[in-house]
């Protein structure tokens, strides 16, 4: 298991930029003074001692001296932004509350959809503890979105999705 001491021996983390810099040369493409890691699918990943780590989890270890108990949430929803001010410990459920919204439903807004049997209405709902909570039918998509936003702020607080 990687320790804070070993991490600090190999890398330097800049909390203001979220970047990791190499302290030692490990290979021809991993020279001392170069930026460590690569931006994979959605996250920055860094190889250390033959293991691949997520940079935001390494930042937590670097700054606190311990591995995060659960997830690490990116406050602004940008998963490649590993500045210390953008990271916070979260449960899996909290981490999922502020993820970017999917645009593959009839409204383009998470939790809002056209009522199939009555096209003139919009249905609003929200998920909490793996249960869907019905929030009502609304005449406009905007009214439904506002109702969902209000409930989202009340239920999820600082972890609610911010536009």
What is the CATH classification number for the domain harbouring 132? 3.30.730.10
Are residues 89 and 105 located together in one domain of the fold?
Answer: no
Percent of the chain with pLDDT over 70: 93
Structural domain of residue 89, as residue ranges? 4-93
Query: Going edge to edge, which strands form the sheet with 112-114?
Result: 112-114, 122-128, 131-138
CATH of the domain at 65: 3.90.75.20
Q: Are residues 39 and 77 in the same domain?
A: yes
What's the structural domain count of the chain?
2
Q: Are residues 88 and 121 in the same domain?
A: no
- Give the sign of the dihedral formed by CA 86, CA 87, CA 90, CA 96: positive
d(CA 112, CA 141): 7
Beta-carbon contacts of 139 under 8 Å, excluding residues fewer than 6 positions away, are 120, 121, 122
SS3 18: coil
The answer on 66 and 141 residing in a single domain is no
Same domain, 79 and 110: no
- Low-confidence stretches of the chain (pLDDT < 50) are none
Of 45, 66, 93, the position where a domain reaches its end is 93
Q: Are 42 and 116 contained in the same domain? A: no
**Cα 44 to Cα 42: distance, rounded to the nearest angstrom:** 7
Last residue in a domain, options 56, 75, 93: 93
**108 and 114 in contact (C-beta within 8 Å)?**
no
Shared domain for 76 and 117, answered yes or no, is no
Q: What is the pLDDT of residue 155?
A: 87
Task: Check whether residue 89 and residue 114 sit in a common domain.
Answer: no
Residues 10 and 84 in one domain: yes
Check whether residue 84 and residue 155 sit in a common domain. no
């Amino acid at each position: 298991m990687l320790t804070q001491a070993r991490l600090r021996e190999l890398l330097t983390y800049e909390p203001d930029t979220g970047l990791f810099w190499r302290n030692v040369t490990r290979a021809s493409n991993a020279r001392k003074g170069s930026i460590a890691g690569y931006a994979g699918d959605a996250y920055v990943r860094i190889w250390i001692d033959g293991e691949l780590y997520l940079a935001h989890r390494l930042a937590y270890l670097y700054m606190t001296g311990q591995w995060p108990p659960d997830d690490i949430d990116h406050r602004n929803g940008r998963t490649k932004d590993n500045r210390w001010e953008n990271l916070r410990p979260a449960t899996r459920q909290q981490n999922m509350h502020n993820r970017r919204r999917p645009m593959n439903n009839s409204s383009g807004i998470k939790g809002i959809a056209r009522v199939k049997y009555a096209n003139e209405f919009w249905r609003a709902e929200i998920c909490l503890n793996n249960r869907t909570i019905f929030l009502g039918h609304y005449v406009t998509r905007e009214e439904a979105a506002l109702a969902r936003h209000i409930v989202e702020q009340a239920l999820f607080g600082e972890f609610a999705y911010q536009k």
